[in-house]
A and B are shown apart, each in its own frame.
Chain A
Amino acid sequence: MTSVAEAEGVGAVDRGRGVRIVLSGRYVFRLAVLVGLYYGSARLGYALEFSGPVAAIVWLPVGVAVAGLSLYGLELLPGALVGDLLANQYTTVPLGAAIGQTIGNMLEVVVAALLIRRLLLRGSPLRSIRGVGQLLGALALGTLISAVVGPLSLALAGVVSTDSLVKVARTWWLGDLCGALLLVPLAIAWHPFPGRFLSRRAALEGAVLIAIAASLAELAVHTHDPLTYLTFPALIWAAVRFGERGATLVVAVIASIVIWGTTHYEGPFAFRSITHSVLSTQLFIAVAAVSSLCLAALVAEREAFAGRLGETRAQLFRAAETERNRIERDLHDGAQQHLLALAVRMNLSAERADGSDGWYSAAFSDAERDLHVALDELRDLTHGMHPSVLTELGLADTVRTIAARSSIPVTILELPTSRRDERSEATAYFVVMEGIANAMRHSRAGAISIRVKNGSNVLRVEVADDGIGGAVEQAGSGLAGLRARVEAAGGTFSVSSAAGAGTRISAVIPTAA
């Protein structure tokens, strides 16, 4: 049996004789991966000379550890600790200072990860400006701790002078912050790693984007002209088209190339003064990362808002449809039955009066005829509200019925042979009905043609006339109402109506599987 602690990866189990850590295979694996990545990224930093005089331009291990602990839990801290102890350069830094640095680094990781874990409880912080702000705050605060403790340890050990303490602390802080800014949002955006999330076309666009971003960054670092701003269109493209995943990936690509260039004395940020180079590169990375994250968050917020708006609109239409159903039922059960009963009694009276004065008989017959007109109007009204006939007859027969009632001759080109769900059929019905009504009212047409076609998961409706054309969708018009109705059902709607060329309205309505 697996204990809860084991299922969680690690836990403290009270056996009566103290607390024992239960280690699961998964936990040990994650720990080992973290140690490897932490140590590896530190070695990479040293190997590629990503460092200034004392502190790194970009200290990636902090990003690795904060991302790991934020996503998988603080119990992975031992992994970061071992990685840090292994990565320390004991030959150049006294043991006491190295341990001081490690303590600072661990405090930094724990504070940032704790704050980010709280943010993650509410969903991805990258999908709102507020979330991005809070994430940046957590990273800034966490890295500040290390930037205070680390340089202080070095100063106490006499490795750095107290004069340069502030400068070292600044470089340290920006280096850690850049490392965190590059990796933590990247990890949050891509965790868990999505399966197939792009269409072939989008994947191709993504590949082109990365190639262009890398080329622009290469171009920027191979000249001393300040051309780094050339990378910004690629960053904007990534954020707008691919959201937080695209933004974080492209920032990482561009930052890697720019750092490489600067540390190898290339590009616009390679100055004679190393401190100047480091600061410029760090600021570029921070600005690029923060701008891209904010833009991606803005895009996500806008998309979420549009989604909610669409849902609200659909709800509104459903509510209106329910209300129309109710009114139709009430009219059918109430007024219509009263009028029908009256018509029946009129007819009976007319038959009874037949033998007496002809005037009475004629008066009853006239009244009965008027009643029938009223009943027809009432029927058209209720059918316009909700097509109960549709439920009984299906779309094809209902379209035939309304086509037969049209005062302009209607040619039916095609009708579906099988039934679809009630909602899509009702929407298609309204397109046909409103299309015919519109043609009768405005088109002065001599003929109307209707085509209703079953597609795969859609109903395609087309109503065309040979009238004067020139129809426009004005607010409050039948056509505008029809568009709203079709779009609320998740469909698309179009009207083509050039003057003199007739009017053709088309709708594609998704059907329930």
Chain B
Amino acid sequence: MTIVRVLLVDDSDVFLEAAVSVVTKTDGFELVGTATSGEEAVALAATLGPDLVLMDHRMPGLSGLDAALRIREENPNTVVTIVSADSGSQLRDVDFPVLSKKEFNPTRLLELWREAATGR
């Protein structure tokens, strides 16, 4: 089984910490890095080349959506998912998979990855 290398991005340290626990406890996932801003995420994605980026939606500076677009442009093979504290319905027009923070658990992460992998 191939290991999914994950980059986690969130400007909230509290949520980032909880998210780290979820990713490290998800079978087949490996956390390769964390970033607390859109800019840092773009730089890290370029050097680490992750398979999956879990990107917080609302961040000061470069927004999650803008950072996601840039990462996808530079690394077409990377799956970028937007993670939102608000309800998912508000991001329905976004051209990225969306994950609500309330559903941030190993089961949903695996589902999301499977959907993305088959979609490609």
Give the contacting residue for B17; candidates A341, A379, A389; CB below 8 A.
A341
Known A336-B85, A379-B86, A401-B89; contact A341-B18, beta-carbon cutoff 8 A: yes
Give the contacting residue for A337; candidates B15, B21, B90, B93; CB below 8 A.
B15
Contact between A344 and B106, CB atoms less than 8 A apart: no
A342 closest partner in B (C-beta): B18
Instruction: Of the listed stretches A86-94, A110-118, A345-353, A418-426, name the one at the interface; the rest are far from the partner chain.
Output: A345-353
Contact between B22 and A332, CB atoms less than 8 A apart: no
Which of A340, A393, A404 has the most C-beta atoms of chain B within 10 angstroms of its own C-beta? A340
Contact between B107 and A344, CB atoms less than 8 A apart: no
B107: which A residues are within 8 A, CB to CB? 351
The 4 A-B residue pairs with the shortest CB-CB distance, nearest first, are A341-B18, A337-B12, A344-B18, A340-B101
B19: which A residues are within 8 A, CB to CB? 341, 344
Q: How far is the CA of A337 from the CA of B11 in the complex (A)?
A: 10
Q: How far is the CA of A332 from the CA of B10 in the complex (A)?
A: 13
A338 within 8 A of B: yes
Interface positions of A from 342 to 364, Cβ below 8 Å from B: 342-345, 347-348, 351-352
A224 within 8 A of B: no
B10 closest partner in A (C-beta): A337
B77 within 8 A of A: no
Q: How far is the CA of A397 from the CA of B106 in the complex (A)?
A: 31
A107 within 8 A of B: no
Q: How far is the CA of A340 from the CA of B105 in the complex (A)?
A: 12
Pairs across A and B, CB under 8 Å, 12 listed: A332-B58, A337-B14, A338-B14, A340-B102, A341-B17, A341-B19, A344-B18, A347-B104, A348-B22, A348-B106, A351-B106, A397-B93
Contact with B along A375-418 (1 / 0, CB 8 A): 10001000000001100110001000100100000000000000
Interface positions of B from 69 to 120, Cβ below 8 Å from A: 85-87, 89-90, 93, 101-102, 104-107
Classify the interface of chain B: helix, strand, loop or mixed: helix
Q: How far is the CA of A393 from the CA of B22 in the complex (A)?
A: 30
Q: How far is the CA of A397 from the CA of B14 in the complex (A)?
A: 31
Looking at the assembled complex, report how far the CB atom of A338 sits from the nearest CB atom of chain B, in whole angstroms.
5
Contact between B86 and A347, CB atoms less than 8 A apart: no
Looking at the assembled complex, report how far the CB atom of A342 sits from the nearest CB atom of chain B, in whole angstroms.
8
Contact between A344 and B85, CB atoms less than 8 A apart: no
Contact between B102 and A372, CB atoms less than 8 A apart: yes
A163 within 8 A of B: no
Classify the interface of chain A: helix, strand, loop or mixed: helix
A375 closest partner in B (C-beta): B102
Contact between A401 and B90, CB atoms less than 8 A apart: yes
Contact between A344 and B101, CB atoms less than 8 A apart: yes
Q: How far is the CA of A401 from the CA of B105 in the complex (A)?
A: 25
Q: How far is the CA of A342 from the CA of B15 in the complex (A)?
A: 8
A338 closest partner in B (C-beta): B14
Which of B15, B87, B104, B106 has the most C-beta atoms of chain A within 10 angstroms of its own C-beta? B15
B21 closest partner in A (C-beta): A348
B25: which A residues are within 8 A, CB to CB? 348, 352
Give the contacting residue for B85; candidates A337, A345, A397; CB below 8 A.
A337
Contact with B along A240-266 (1 / 0, CB 8 A): 000000000000000000000000000
Looking at the assembled complex, report how far the CB atom of B9 sits from the nearest CB atom of chain A, in whole angstroms.
14
Contact between B85 and A340, CB atoms less than 8 A apart: yes
Known A344-B18, A348-B22, A389-B90; contact A333-B105, beta-carbon cutoff 8 A: no
Interface positions of B from 4 to 36, Cβ below 8 Å from A: 11-12, 14-15, 17-19, 21-22, 25
A398 closest partner in B (C-beta): B90
Looking at the assembled complex, report how far the CB atom of A269 sits from the nearest CB atom of chain B, in whole angstroms.
79
B11: which A residues are within 8 A, CB to CB? 333
A337 closest partner in B (C-beta): B12
Q: Beyond A341-B17, A345-B18, list 4 extra A-B contacts (CB 8 Å).
A: A336-B85, A340-B101, A351-B106, A389-B90
A393: which B residues are within 8 A, CB to CB? 90
A350 closest partner in B (C-beta): B105
Q: How far is the CA of A418 from the CA of B93 in the complex (A)?
A: 16
